[in-house]
Structure 1
Amino acid sequence: MSSVLFASVVRVGDGLPLSASTDYEHDRELHDTRKHLKALSKKLPHFPDRCTFASGPYNVNFTSALGVCYMMVCLSSYPSVLAFCFLDELQKEFLVTYDSKRVAAAVRPYSFIQFDVVIQRTKHRYNSPRSLSTKINMADMQTELKLRPPYRLTPDDLQAANGFSPSRSSAKYKGIAPSQTLEPVTLPGAVSCVLSVLCGGLNLLRGVHAIESVLQCFLFAYFSVWRNVKSFLALGLVCVCNMYLFQLRNVWQILFHVAVAACMTLHTHLRRPLGKAPDYNV
């Protein structure tokens, strides 16, 4: 029996299947596992980008990237590093073959069913691990799985994916998937929130004071310049007036001296004695 049993490519946004392997094995448990895979594909935006789900003797592994999810069903004894290497190889082939615009424009299910040729070829290689020639990629994947292991989904997560409320409050996922519920605010969180508000208020006040200081400096500079201009104009006016008055004073002094000289001359002539009258009797 093969180790890699089924693989599919699904669009993350709406769970639309884009391509899948066409072979089918008549097994009750495998059929149920494929139902679980279909249910999980409907809620891919709520899961981390790398997950695994145990369903009886089988495992469902999937990884998401650039709006596309690559899913597979394998035996539970199949090594995880090989399973995710298989998904990584499918991802690289799919990204080379199809661009994001074609993926976003797909409307009908299995629009890229021709990609099944690549899936079948990759399945055949990974069903015989001894013939694999990707040991370097396997080493890289093993290191990556140690640093960031896949999140293990539980039946509660599957019930939540099917629309039922799980028994526990919520699953805390690891990775980059968004959290679905808000945790209650703790005391340190409330204190940090209050301090953040206070710091924001202080920064706002500092900004107002800074604007006020800038306006004051601008007004001071403006009035200083205007005051200097007025002083210059007043001083110039005083100088002009002083020059005019000085010239006018000089004119009056000249007229005054002329008048004084005339008066003195007239006074001298008036005080001169009269001459002796001639004698006509001689």
Structure 2
Amino acid sequence: MNRRLTSFISSEGVSYMTICSSSFSAAMAFCFLEDLRWEFRASYDNTSIGLVSRPYPFLEFDSVIQKIKHHYSYSSFPTLRMNLAAVEEELRVRPSKILTAEDMVMHNGTANGHAQPVSGTAASERMKPVTGLGILSLLLNIMCASLNLIRGVHLIEYTLQVSAEGPFSLLRGVHLIQYTLQCYLYLFFTSVKKLQAFLALAFVFLCNIYLYGLRNIWQLLFHTAVASLSTYQISTRKLQEKLDDCGV
């Protein structure tokens, strides 16, 4: 059975890998990778590499890879023999590290014993498309927030004159924050959005209880219904399923 060996090197944030037959020596593989690295760095600078998030801009480099591959597979120029001798000497002084499959496996976000920090929000995560009912809940939230803002500003003008209105103006400000938070939770993904959504709904209920007397029953029911609809939309809007990357 013809075994395949995988060799790779890393330099300046870029890794270069080759899979070759066991008949190729390790020195030949690393010599190939070194030439590949030089050609790649000559073709792309740090800025162009840093701006790329997918491999497609590097497709044109495949012609260079094929040229180097042909050079190593079918040629035996003196320069190649000189480079090979230098690499063999370097490998003798500093042997390459041999990795097993277990060394390269990833477990729950931990690669080779090093865990990557995970933030509370995932900016790269994509939510499912906004539905018509979701747009309606957003519009109603914006309308309720605007009404509370207008009423709150109006009450603040009379806070010094009528001290009893002070707490109610504060509650309207809290109301405004809750509706704004519900809009944010619906549009963007957070790891604890359900908990935050239900806490926001609870605060809306409490505010409506404290505001009972300044609003009639229909106003209270309307604000409660809007908050409940938003909470339902937040809870049911899921992340898009990730498709397998089939890139180069």
* TM-score range for the pair, normalised by the shorter chain length: 0.3 to 0.5
**Which structure: greater strand fraction?**
1
- Greater Cα radius of gyration, structure 1 or 2: 1
Please, what TM-score do these two structures have when normalized by structure 2? Answer: 0.42
